[in-house]
Amino acid sequence: MIGGRLVREFSLGGALRFKARLMSCLVLASFCCAQGVATSAETPSRAPDAANVSPIAYKQTLTAQCGSLYRLLKVPMRDACEGVIAQGVEVARSHLGRPIFALRTGAPLTDKSATRVLILGAVHGDELTSGWLSLKWADLAPPMTEKRTYSVLHVPIVNPDGVFGAKPSRTNGRGVDLNRNFPTPQWNPEANRWWVNKTKRDPRRFPGHAAASEFETKYIMRVIETFKPTVVVSVHAPLGVLDYDGGGPLPERIGSIFLDSLGIYPGSLGHFGSRSRGVPVLTVELPHAINLVSTEETKRMWRDLFAWIDKYANYDSQAK
């Protein structure tokens, strides 16, 4: 670790740390407006038919979503959903009108040398641990290294309709598998062909009627376009492996999870990010969708993740 403003911000304890993060979130809010990432002010024209939207959903905060997630996981609320998590900024709406929140940690966006990392959780709504881990990670400052700072954008619950519906579901509020809805090359007809032939029309894996048909998919695409992440990390469950779409040094191990390719799927974020946008996508498949990883493992994974990102960023900067 070296000296510098970020180290001071994240090492002076609770109050200052909280303040630093609050400022980060305010910067995030202005970033969203400036860069065209969907904000609550922009969303009405994109929002679904008002008849579909529960007025209660509009009142939800990230703290309420976090609390609901903890209840679903049947874990105590102690120390949960506070601090930085309460400072999330609504950046988009789901199909059923639930807010999608983002929050930022690490170096300010004005630090052009910072490596940008986008972390996504709960793309599949029934993989509850992925949302939980993404929230926990948002409460850990990214580590600093000799040469590098990080700016991290967290979207802990990409698919709130899937998480908070009557019963948690893989798909979004329109029954679409978001991780098959990204506009990969030949999406039409490959995505539908894959759904029919490989899944036998499994409704949990329906790719949608058109590529990028869903609000949630469009939002992630806009974030990739505007935030310009160096690396995307998408947390899933319950396969217990790492899947990597990208070049450079391979992420061999994150915590106790090891690399093991899951293959290429039409419409997946990994396929879209790496092939269509040139951004590597690391998919972290936790071993369970309900059973949480330990606090120690959460921190170990965070450290290993950034150790790999550091290697990747060095490789990337040399390649440019």
Which residues make up the interface to Zn ion (CB under 5 A)?
A: 124, 127, 236
Task: Measure the CA–CA gap between 237 and 284, rounded to whole angstroms.
Answer: 8
C-beta of 238 vs 249, nearer to Zn ion: 238
What's the closest the beta carbon of residue 89 comes to Zn ion, in angstroms? 25
C-beta of 143 vs 156, nearer to Zn ion: 156
What's the closest the beta carbon of residue 268 comes to Zn ion, in angstroms? 10
C-beta of 114 vs 135, nearer to Zn ion: 135
C-beta of 85 vs 123, nearer to Zn ion: 123
What's the closest the beta carbon of residue 256 comes to Zn ion, in angstroms? 19
What's the closest the beta carbon of residue 70 comes to Zn ion, in angstroms? 20
Nearest to 132 by CA among 80, 60, 58, 64: 80
Structure-token match 């940008």, residue found: 116
What's the closest the beta carbon of residue 239 comes to Zn ion, in angstroms? 8
C-beta of 137 vs 150, nearer to Zn ion: 137
C-beta of 131 vs 246, nearer to Zn ion: 131
What's the closest the beta carbon of residue 31 comes to Zn ion, in angstroms? 28
C-beta of 230 vs 283, nearer to Zn ion: 283
What's the closest the beta carbon of residue 221 comes to Zn ion, in angstroms? 18
Tokens found for residue 102? 């983002």
